[in-house]
Structure 1
């Protein structure tokens, strides 16, 4: 395997030799047969064995409870008086989850993952900030998977596959730090790697420690608060790594005297268990190492989508921006529009079922306004930015059926058209505000007196860098625009007024670049500006009036009962405060999902009841 110069440099930095001292070890339960073990507490151990199954043991090795079978690999998570146990059932060749009641000393009913089409070498558990429980499978030839298996202390009736994960081809061991949401996996002849563990995270890896030395080997590891204990079977050493935020630094190393082939490892506090594969015996010791605890990032509240749209019909980064068309007489017949920037415009019902697909080209952003005079007809209007023609694509919406039809096109001089939003003052005329990647904004008055759409350029202004999202507050004649790496601005929406920019919020601790979709929730009680903070997969809620007070941020997490994954890397979003019936009685939030999981499919849009946002942020 080739290792890049960057990784080799990091390997030299992170794996600098440290003076190794001997770790005092004593045999533990010499007659015990175990392939894997876990230190549960100062008084209890758990082992997995091919002959004795899963065994709960006291500190001296006396059996307290047993679950018969042929098992290897082991990981646990405490949940009150319950211990959630993950192992590999060798007879069935399946991963298994089982509850252990630590107080009653009894095992529960096993939950088996479906048989995989590859050999599973190892597994590990992960609990996220919302108490969802996942298991990672480490397989041969670089195959890895993440499965949702429970919440809190409760296991699901049926596990759900969340995503596949490309792992090193020779990986056997994994561990997850629930605090920093990092999955660590070994690559036998290379070192250890860290991956983001959250199901909505981008698939990427960073080195924990790498080496280019045939006398080294990356084996089992145990994550401890603030760091990791990693086993090198060839040198019979433990390496202690401190996690410093963006990198891992080796603090010291310990030699395991008398062990010829150390293989398995478990650490809980200062207690350590290690197995010598040469004689099959277990040894215990005290790890006198105090790492500096890692400060966890803020835990944002989560809401769940109760519906999701059918996936778009193109691979890759395709879905982009939604809009909500509200039926004037029957709100339950409203539509969610969405752009596929590799194909055209899509229309869904409120359950997310695809109703229409207009293949008109690479549409990026879309917005909707009612009561447009198309010749002698009165229709509702959808307008999208067309990146094929650097134009505005217009669509009529039948006010009874909701059917969309192409209504025409307005050319623009923009070199790379990007975002668009509509503005409709009390006079009823409709304006389209389009922007280009160079920061230019063009405002057009739209009309179609003879049935042919046309756009009159009435204003032009510019920001310093790339914009995209924008939304108009028709009542207050205010336009909000997003400058992706800078923040959000407010400007007068009226065409005959100067385009003086007023800062609403800048990129910083709360708003993470890229600034993407913008939307307004407008009700009789309060108006809010909702922003897609793409850099940390969250959504920020502000007052829509000065001084634009912030009410906090939230994330869209997974909905296990409905089988709907969360949302991440969101481009566009839209919201309405109108009662659309059912779960949408207090309005609806629609967000684009940049990483479709559970199952992995092309991108789509998630539909969230606004009542969930009100609850999560405790909005007034």
Structure 2
């Protein structure tokens, strides 16, 4: 995407450029010497294991070279572009097959000097300019494709030491129109892409991340780059990048949310540096580059000791075991789930989910859509059993209806699980948001509804004549916007989330003061927005599960004071089942009931705000609680 700035923004960009230039450290030392003068290749790179090198050539194929440039092994063909990662005891190499015009992956046994069988990605409907590999925190291997006219894609290609026989497209990625090259910092989960006539951009590489970008460095007059943004190499502490037309090497380091220029080095004797690779050694940085003017190769030592950037610890990943069909509306639609337990056959239980652009949905435990009630923009939903609807006993689902600022009620047949509309209760809330139910031992049923202004209303629900009615019995307020809430029926305690503040506990009984006590505040463990809340209760091991939306994770606390944190996790890819992870989660629900099979220790359901692999409308992911217990080592 080209950059167009107003005069005021041009001034701001110039000031930013000046401040970056002034922040540059003293020049680092770079010594270049010719390398393998008789070798004619189009790109060269360090092998990720050992001292050998890799090279690609349109004429000679894919080459394994020794440190002096002598050929050790060759894969015949015509190739361009190059990246690699360790693959167990082998090396995974990615390149572009010029003859087939396809991205290719192949394993290399460097010790035996032998190539494996190539695996090809499907032919794309756009020319591929470049590619790069990425390994995530769960050892999933991905390949990014950089295409013409801003087209980019991310593909799942393997896991751990395994290269998949068939790659799977994860998502499309809008990239700059003149991008030709990319590299990924695995530890930072950061993709860096060039835009030749503008600069270098950093994107989140994780498939569940929001698609955003930030400038690493820009061309004059918006930055210090003289002519163009070319190839780059990444190290844990920064970016080493080429301006080919100016024959300059630039060093950048990330500091907080911005990138700072640390040095700019001329490349004497090199007219048009094109290909670049760098690896860290005890002495500094070892450099390989190619001069596109005459095809000569150079190696050198860059004496730049960059301070590693502090990064948060990686959270463990738990894969989903099932997922629902995508909801029937585009955009931010799916929101909050609830789990209805069949009173006789737990395997016939259902997962309810709100579509805040449509209504209420019901799924079986495999995620198949069973029922759809298009009653309006429902936000949150909760369920309780044994509600007296006149002379009939039903289970009851209650949802917050944003069309009418009301509570929408649904009866659930206790044998078939069929849902039917059961009435509506008006509220005075101007913007109703969250809802949760409370059912103490007395058997009464209460609903807590909240509004975006922080108001909570507590209603006693009843239907003595078959018509549901709600009696307002208590009202209180938090200082800012809430949404998620859950009631502990046994201990008569309500947990509620204030999105930018944290989680509170309050007595759920209508005749008690609504005194808030802090459970956990937004901070290192809990990242705003605070969204869905749910309770896992089994044999005294009671846990509060919170959607920490700001870092796409789920925090587990003891559900009793002092509410000790038991750990956090993310829901990630299930490569075996082809289920993507979950991110930007709004609502969630959990049960400890044995639902059979994978759900023998209960089920966690989370809303997925970004559906990948393939890209579709939002849905809900089903996670075995046994996996959460194992991952967090819960009692």
Q: Aligned partners of 2:325 and 2:482: how far apart in 1?
A: 29
- Report what 1:363 is aligned to: 378
Cα distance, 1:52 vs structure 2: 1.1
Against the structure 1 CA distance between its residues 51 and 113, is the aligned structure 2 distance closer, same or farther, given a 3 Å change threshold? Answer: same
Aligned ranges 1:312-327 → 2 under 5 Å:
312-327=327-342
1:419-439 per-residue CA deviation (whole Å, 9 max, x = no partner) reads 000000111111100000011
- Report what 2:3 is aligned to: 2
Is residue 211 of structure 2 the alignment partner of residue 203 of structure 1? yes
- Report what 1:383 is aligned to: 398
- Report what 1:594 is aligned to: 609
Deviates more, 1:38-47 or 1:186-195: 38-47
- Report what 1:190 is aligned to: 198
Q: Secondary structure at the match of 2:339?
A: strand
Give the alignment's TM-score, normalised by structure 1: 0.98
Q: Aligned partners of 1:217 and 1:19: how far apart in 2?
A: 23
- Report what 2:566 is aligned to: 551
Is residue 289 of structure 2 the alignment partner of residue 278 of structure 1? no
Q: Secondary structure at the match of 1:24?
A: strand
Cα distance, 1:523 vs structure 2: 0.5
Q: Aligned partners of 1:277 and 1:151: how far apart in 2?
A: 35
Cα distance, 1:406 vs structure 2: 0.3
- Report what 1:562 is aligned to: 577
- Report what 1:82 is aligned to: 90
- Report what 1:267 is aligned to: 278
Q: Aligned partners of 1:370 and 1:396: how far apart in 2?
A: 10
Give the length in aligned residue pairs. Answer: 620
Deviates more, 1:548-557 or 1:17-26: 17-26
- The structure 1 residue matched to 2:477, chosen from 462, 470, 479, is 462
- Report what 2:554 is aligned to: 539
Q: Aligned partners of 2:15 and 2:496: how far apart in 1?
A: 43
Q: Aligned partners of 1:18 and 1:293: how far apart in 2?
A: 16
Cα distance, 1:23 vs structure 2: 3.7
> Which stretches in structure 2 are left out of the alignment for 5+ residues?
none
Cα distance, 1:360 vs structure 2: 0.3
Aligned ranges 1:297-316 → 2 under 5 Å:
297-316=312-331
- Report what 2:433 is aligned to: 418
Q: Secondary structure at the match of 2:31?
A: coil
Q: Aligned partners of 1:426 and 1:316: how far apart in 2?
A: 41
Is residue 106 of structure 2 the alignment partner of residue 95 of structure 1? no
Q: Aligned partners of 1:279 and 1:52: how far apart in 2?
A: 18
Cα distance, 1:347 vs structure 2: 0.3
1:54-109 per-residue CA deviation (whole Å, 9 max, x = no partner) reads 10000111111111111000001123421111110111111111111122111111
- Report what 2:500 is aligned to: 485
Against the structure 1 CA distance between its residues 8 and 140, is the aligned structure 2 distance closer, same or farther, given a 3 Å change threshold? Answer: farther
Q: Aligned partners of 2:25 and 2:534: how far apart in 1?
A: 55
Cα distance, 1:239 vs structure 2: 0.4
Q: Contact 1:37/1:46 (CA < 8 Å) preserved in 2?
A: yes
Q: Secondary structure at the match of 1:287?
A: strand
Q: Contact 1:22/1:256 (CA < 8 Å) preserved in 2?
A: no
Q: Secondary structure at the match of 1:615?
A: helix
Q: Contact 2:29/2:304 (CA < 8 Å) preserved in 1?
A: no
Cα distance, 1:245 vs structure 2: 2.7
1:564-593 per-residue CA deviation (whole Å, 9 max, x = no partner) reads 000000000000000001110000000000
Q: Secondary structure at the match of 1:613?
A: helix
Q: Aligned partners of 2:372 and 2:17: how far apart in 1?
A: 51
Cα distance, 1:296 vs structure 2: 2.3
Q: Secondary structure at the match of 1:176?
A: strand
- The structure 2 residue matched to 1:449, chosen from 452, 464, 475, is 464
Is residue 252 of structure 2 the alignment partner of residue 241 of structure 1? yes
Q: Aligned partners of 2:630 and 2:85: how far apart in 1?
A: 29
Q: Secondary structure at the match of 2:557?
A: strand
Q: Secondary structure at the match of 1:600?
A: coil
Against the structure 1 CA distance between its residues 42 and 98, is the aligned structure 2 distance closer, same or farther, given a 3 Å change threshold? Answer: closer
- The structure 2 residue matched to 1:437, chosen from 425, 436, 452, is 452
- The structure 1 residue matched to 2:420, chosen from 405, 415, 421, is 405
Q: Contact 2:29/2:302 (CA < 8 Å) preserved in 1?
A: no
Q: Aligned partners of 2:72 and 2:341: how far apart in 1?
A: 63
1:234-278 per-residue CA deviation (whole Å, 9 max, x = no partner) reads 110100111223111111111111112211111112221111111
Q: Aligned partners of 1:602 and 1:69: how far apart in 2?
A: 41
Deviates more, 1:186-195 or 1:256-265: 256-265
1:358-398 per-residue CA deviation (whole Å, 9 max, x = no partner) reads 00000000000001111111110000000000000000000
- Report what 2:170 is aligned to: 162
> Which stretches in structure 1 are left out of the alignment for 5+ residues?
none
Is residue 122 of structure 2 the alignment partner of residue 114 of structure 1? yes
- The structure 2 residue matched to 1:73, chosen from 77, 81, 93, is 81
- Report what 1:512 is aligned to: 527
Is residue 359 of structure 2 the alignment partner of residue 344 of structure 1? yes
Against the structure 1 CA distance between its residues 58 and 589, is the aligned structure 2 distance closer, same or farther, given a 3 Å change threshold? Answer: same
- Report what 2:232 is aligned to: 221
Is residue 139 of structure 2 the alignment partner of residue 131 of structure 1? yes
1:123-172 per-residue CA deviation (whole Å, 9 max, x = no partner) reads 01111111111111000000001111111121112111111111100000
Give the alignment's TM-score, normalised by structure 2: 0.96
Structure 1 vs Structure 2 CA RMSD: 1.4
Is residue 269 of structure 2 the alignment partner of residue 258 of structure 1? yes
Cα distance, 1:22 vs structure 2: 7.6
- Report what 1:47 is aligned to: 55
Q: Aligned partners of 2:445 and 2:317: how far apart in 1?
A: 36
Q: Aligned partners of 2:164 and 2:15: how far apart in 1?
A: 44
Q: Contact 2:26/2:262 (CA < 8 Å) preserved in 1?
A: no
Against the structure 1 CA distance between its residues 481 and 26, is the aligned structure 2 distance closer, same or farther, given a 3 Å change threshold? Answer: same
Q: Contact 1:14/1:208 (CA < 8 Å) preserved in 2?
A: no
Q: Aligned partners of 2:13 and 2:129: how far apart in 1?
A: 26
Q: Aligned partners of 2:236 and 2:26: how far apart in 1?
A: 23
Deviates more, 1:97-106 or 1:507-516: 97-106
Q: Aligned partners of 1:10 and 1:98: how far apart in 2?
A: 43
Cα distance, 1:298 vs structure 2: 1.0
Q: Aligned partners of 2:465 and 2:246: how far apart in 1?
A: 84
- Report what 2:586 is aligned to: 571
Q: Aligned partners of 1:307 and 1:552: how far apart in 2?
A: 23
